[in-house]
Amino acid sequence: MSKKELASETPEVRNPRREGIMDAALELFGKSGLDGTSVEAIAHDAGIGKGTVYLYFRSKDEILDAILAERWPGPHLENQLPTMLSAERTSLVPLEEVLQNVGNMFLGTVERNMVVLRLALSEAYRFPDRAERLFESTFLRANRILADFLEAQERAGRIRTLESPLVAARCYQGMLMTYVLSQEMLGGRMYTPMDRQDWVRIAVDIFLRGMDNRTDPTSPEKRKEG
């Protein structure tokens, strides 16, 4: 197919072929890594000729960049979190339940995209700019949304004053990602299988104990005790 013919295709015709290339590449990258995968293999698994791949992508590196940009669910998380943490939804709901819902949504989303995460991490040492984009588009944005929520909880008196809501949010995010690291990426589920919801429930319990306003030495309760 010539570039002129490609340009005349409608998005409905063009996009499925491009998606098929990315599907094949993602599966092969997951099995053999970037270096162990050839454009020929991607084309074969996509059921097209090698030349057709180059009509959509200049190289397998560009395919990887497209996968990280389009298949990692950063936009999904960014859209979901503000809704889940809106004042209308959380004002009458126990904080523990809110954070559990957030934790399960976050981990569920990551689990459904483990191949992409593994791929991003495996290439991070060689291509730090890719890792930085993944961090910025997903973890940092989610971190800031959660930090804003924690600040609102401070103002409402539901938690103690935090030295840094952003650090506190990152700590909670880190507790969640430890599940991914230990259970999914390092094979911990083979030796000590742990239920994701149990993990989230206990993580939230530990996290909230550290933010309990009754433990704040400046809180009214503590000043009365003094």
Structural domain contains residue 226: no
Whether the per-residue pLDDT at 10 is higher than 60: the answer is: no
pLDDT recorded at residue 14: 46
Confidence class for position 77, pLDDT limits 50, 70, 90? confident
Residues 26 and 129 placed together within one structural domain of the fold: no
| Structural domain total, the chain | 2
Task: Please tell me the pTM assigned to this model.
Answer: 0.74
Using alpha carbons only, what angle is made at residue 24 by residues 19 and 25, rounded to the nearest 5 degrees?
A: 95
- DSSP string spanning 149-203? HHHHHHHTTSSPPPS-HHHHHHHHHHHHHHHIIIIIIS-GGGTS---HHHHHHHH
Same domain, 134 and 60: no
pLDDT for 1 equals 44
- Give the whole-angstrom CA distance, residue 179 versus residue 174: 9
- Residue 121's pLDDT is 77
User: Is residue 110 domain-shared with residue 180, that is, in the same domain?
Assistant: yes
Q: Is residue 37 part of a domain?
A: yes
Instruction: Check residue 139 and report its DSSP letter.
Output: I
Here the tokens at position 4 are 């002129």
Give the integer Cα–Cα distance in Å for 222 and 207. 20
* Residue 103 DSSP one-character state: H
| Residue 2: predicted pLDDT | 43
Claim to verify: residue 140 and residue 63 sit in the same structural domain: no
Mean pLDDT of the chain: 83
103 lies in the same domain as 194: yes
Residue holding tokens 């700590």? 171
Instruction: State the residue range of the domain holding 155.
Output: 72-214
pLDDT at 24: 94
**pLDDT one-digit tens code per residue, 84-94:** 999 888 888 99
Encoded tokens for 195: 């239920």
